[in-house]
Amino acid sequence: MQSNPSTEAEEWERRGIEADSRSQHAEAEACFAKALTYDDSRQFSWVGLAFSQINQRRVDDAVASLQRAHIARPTCGIISHLLKAMTGETTSRAPNDYITFLFNGYAANFDQHLTSLQYQGPQMLAELIKRAGWAADGTRHIIDIGCGTGLSGMPLRAYAGRLEGADLSASMLEQALKRGIYNHLWHGEAHAVLRRLPAGSYDAVVAADTLVYIGDVAEFFRLAHAALRPGGDLLFTVEACDEGFALVKSGRYQHSDAYLKACADGLFSCADRVDGAIRTEAQQAIPGHAYRFSKPAA
């Protein structure tokens, strides 16, 4: 009896995922490579292959895999984003299919994973709010863009009369819904959601660990400015770099202080900045900032 190539590919991909979940990276690599011998259009197997090579600290092999993957799947945003990140090519933002692929896969274990990375975004937001002297009177209208599972919504809840969340990943939104802290959840890309908001009606727009997936923030700032009432605040966190913005090997963007302030020119003044290690990765602290930008009062 002849074997079915797509069933064989699926089975080897499944074994690769299983090996990966046991951190058996060499075994995962062999399984994903085998899956691709049956069907070289499987984007998940390509990405799995590249990640298992990265996990074995074989970055050159991972780049070679992604280059082959890009030939097999030239329109796949996941592959092209990772390839650009690995080869030092900066783009304006991560493609939507990369974000949904990454975070739909992550959602069930996201909170646990970020705890293990010592993620500090919510604490840095809380510190900004404390320093701004917001009263915890439950009156503010706040939107949390890239709300994920709602970790960033937690420090906002006590200040909000109405707390909204927005995210591109449906699976992250399912987790946010379970948390029960949002009055409304928007499913969509950040810029698209911001364009739909009633002008001048929000007291705060928040983006915690979201702009790390948006390199060029100029349009995001313009849209957040339009949604805010005069005197309203834009609170956000970034990973730091020295100049401009850059897509780095992690697949995330870093932003410099000067670049952020240049984008805010004419829209916001920088009211405060908290510095810290936003997360650790491979035992390295990733330096970051949390900002409060204020829209001038009318």
Is 290 a binder of ligand SAM (CB under 6 A)?
no
Is 209 a binder of ligand SAM (CB under 6 A)?
yes
Among 167, 203, 233, 239, binds ligand SAM (CB under 6 A): 167
Between residues 52 and 210, which has the closer beta carbon with respect to ligand SAM? 210
- Residue 92, Cα to own-chain centre: how many angstroms? 14
Is 99 a binder of ligand SAM (CB under 6 A)?
yes
For residue 207, the tally of other CB atoms under 10 A from its CB is 28
Q: How many helices (H) and strands (E) does the chain have?
A: 12, 9
**Could you give the 3-state DSSP secondary structure of residue 136?**
coil
For residue 29, the tally of other CB atoms under 10 A from its CB is 25
Stretch that binds ligand SAM, among 33-41, 58-66, 145-153, 285-293 (CB under 6 A): 145-153
CA distances in angstroms from 195 to 73, 187, 219, 222, listed in the order given? 32, 13, 10, 10
- Smallest separation, CB 160 to ligand SAM (Å): 15
Among 76, 82, 147, 290, binds ligand SAM (CB under 6 A): 147
Is 148 a binder of ligand SAM (CB under 6 A)?
yes
**For residues 44-66, b (16+ Cβ closer than 10 Å) or e, as one string?**
bbbbbbbbbbbbeebeebbbebb
Stretch that binds ligand SAM, among 72-80, 194-202, 206-214, 284-292 (CB under 6 A): 206-214
- Smallest separation, CB 190 to ligand SAM (Å): 3
Between residues 51 and 101, which has the closer beta carbon with respect to ligand SAM? 101
Between residues 95 and 200, which has the closer beta carbon with respect to ligand SAM? 95
For residue 149, the tally of other CB atoms under 10 A from its CB is 26
| C-beta separation of 91 from 98 below 8 A | no
Among 169, 175, 254, 294, binds ligand SAM (CB under 6 A): 169
The residues of the shown chain that bind ligand SAM, judged by CB under 6 A, are: 99, 103, 121, 146-148, 151-152, 167-169, 172, 189-190, 208-210, 213-214
